[in-house]
């Protein structure tokens, strides 16, 4: 049975926090819906102390921001975008349109059609998330989305040069300097100056994630991508330094980032607890990481690899790093997670920034029913059908007529019957079921 050497906040405390977040977000969304641009500006002043003439950047403002970066910094951004674009293009090529004649005279098919507009949120706050621009804007463009709006909060009262550069190089059609719930509201609901989008994507803090959840239905969303979660599955093939480093590397994201170690080695568990305390003394972002570790960190000691797998499936973390003597076994057997990082040579930061997979991933156990953001999230698969011959129209219509009448849908049945009469010459009484072939003949 799994033993908890350290536990995080109770489920009850987390639920209370979530309730407060829901109420705050609901009020702000209602305000933006009622007052439009005026509400957005008030919120930007309140939360970011930012009130420009307009939130959308002009081409000259974009160029001015980009000019603040060195050529090497721009090259680094381009390198990361090349990796993400390459993998997104491979994924897009895997999704093909289909058309097939399923029976003589009956053709069925589907087409993968991009959404026509997408709003991409790029987090800022304590850490400007440059990579989120690649992950959302660039991926949307590879999918073929015609209009992509990118929005990110100001940093120290102005557009962050690297974020703006990344959004522009990724292909954003419109760039706004607007953060938080108000950005999601503007892109989803629309205002006098912002045309609403069909879909909202991107990670964010708990307020952004809740805003996306509440606008879902009015618009599409990619997934529930809230505060970062990380889980390390490790045995005694690795040491405490690498495990502690990987835990704190994600705990520094925010004050509520769950970070979990699952292991079957008591020695590794105990040494990791000590190593985390050592690293927290020297980590420059320790003020954030320490709160996450103290309130949301957990260390779980298991009896076996099977139990490690079971516990991991229950946690369903956004990021799961596997460092064991059987990494491939975990890959083959795991079903609930955001993304996997297999072996000690890779790490979550690779996926976050540069390696090519997308870093917008499901949190709050959403990995049970969805994967992360990818090119396919921006595509809608629509089916179509055509009937080419009188014989096929009659045959399918006869079956359709009888099946509709079984359900009591007379109007549905008549859609089939009129074609059976017209293309098959069968005299079906109005409101009746098409006869079986032997009876008709």
> What amino acid positions are annotated as catalytic residues?
318-319
**CB proximity list for 281: less than 8 A, separation 6 or greater:** none
Alpha-carbon gap, residue 119 to 215, rounded angstroms? 12
CB 6 within 8 A of CB 259: no
Q: Which residues are annotated as a binding site for NAD(+)?
A: 121, 182, 205
Q: Which residues are annotated as a binding site?
A: 121, 182, 205, 228, 250, 253, 319, 352, 407, 412
Q: Which of 122, 362, 353, 370 is nearest to 229 (CA)?
A: 362
Alpha-carbon gap, residue 221 to 347, rounded angstroms? 27
Beta bridge partners of 100: 108
Q: End-to-end CA distance of the chain, in Å?
A: 70
CB 45 within 8 A of CB 196: no
Q: Which of 189, 36, 178, 195 is nearest to 121 (CA)?
A: 178
Three-point CA angle 46, 52, 56, nearest 5°:
110
Q: Which residues are annotated as a binding site for substrate?
A: 228, 250, 253, 319, 352, 407, 412
CB 221 within 8 A of CB 200: yes
Q: Which residues are annotated as a binding site for Zn(2+)?
A: 250, 253, 352, 412
Cα–Cα distances in angstroms (integers) from residue 437 to residues 394, 425, 434, 440, in the given order = 11, 12, 9, 5
Alpha-carbon gap, residue 385 to 304, rounded angstroms? 52
274: number of Cβ within 10 Å: 11
What is the gyration radius of the CA atoms in the chain, in angstroms? 27
| Sign of CA pseudo-dihedral 262, 265, 268, 273 | positive
CB 102 within 8 A of CB 131: no
């Amino acid at each position: 049975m799994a033993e908890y050497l350290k536990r995080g906040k109770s489920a009850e405390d987390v639920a209370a926090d979530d309730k407060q977040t829901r109420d705050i977000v609901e009020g702000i969304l209602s305000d933006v819906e009622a007052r439009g641009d005026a509400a957005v500006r008030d919120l930007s002043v309140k939360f970011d102390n930012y009130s420009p003439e307009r939130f959308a950047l002009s081409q000259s403002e974009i160029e001015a921001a980009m000019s603040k970066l060195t050529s090497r910094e721009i090259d680094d951004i381009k390198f990361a975008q090349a990796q993400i674009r390459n993998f997104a293009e491979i994924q897009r090529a895997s999704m093909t349109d289909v058309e097939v004649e399923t029976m003589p005279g009956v053709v069925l098919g589907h087409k993968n059609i991009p959404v026509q507009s997408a709003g991409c949120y790029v987090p800022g706050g304590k850490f400007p998330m440059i990579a989120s621009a690649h992950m959302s804007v660039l991926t949307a463009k590879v999918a073929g989305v015609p209009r992509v709006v990118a929005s990110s909060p100001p940093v120290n009262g102005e557009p962050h040069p690297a974020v703006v550069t990344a959004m522009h190089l990724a292909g954003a059609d419109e760039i706004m300097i607007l953060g938080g719930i108000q950005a999601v509201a503007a892109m989803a609901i629309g205002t006098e100056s912002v045309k609403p989008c069909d879909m909202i994507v991107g990670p964010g803090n708990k307020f952004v994630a809740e805003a996306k959840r509440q606008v879902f239905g009015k618009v599409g969303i990619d997934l529930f991508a809230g505060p970062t979660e990380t889980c390390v599955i490790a045995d005694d093939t690795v040491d405490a330094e690498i495990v502690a480093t990987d835990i704190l590397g994600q705990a520094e994201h925010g004050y509520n980032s769950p970070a979990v170690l699952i292991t079957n080695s008591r020695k590794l568990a105990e040494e990791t607890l000590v190593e985390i305390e050592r690293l927290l003394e020297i980590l420059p972002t320790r003020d954030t990481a320490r709160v996450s570790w103290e309130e949301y960190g957990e260390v779980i000691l298991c009896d076996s690899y099977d139990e490690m797998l079971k516990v991991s499936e229950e946690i369903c973390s956004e990021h799961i790093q596997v460092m064991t003597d059987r990494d491939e076994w975990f890959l083959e057997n795991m079903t609930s997670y955001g993304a996997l990082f297999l072996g000690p040579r890779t790490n979550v930061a690779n996926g976050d920034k540069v390696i090519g997979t997308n870093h917008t991933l499901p949190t709050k156990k959403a990995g049970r029913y969805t994967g992360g953001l990818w090119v396919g999230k921006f595509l809608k698969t629509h089916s179509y059908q055509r009937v080419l011959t009188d014989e096929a129209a009659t045959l399918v219509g006869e079956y359709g007529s009888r099946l509709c009448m079984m359900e009591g849908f007379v109007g549905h049945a008549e859609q089939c019957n009129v074609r059976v009469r017209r293309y098959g010459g069968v005299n079906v009484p109005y409101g009746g079921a098409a006869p079986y072939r032997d009876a008709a003949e």
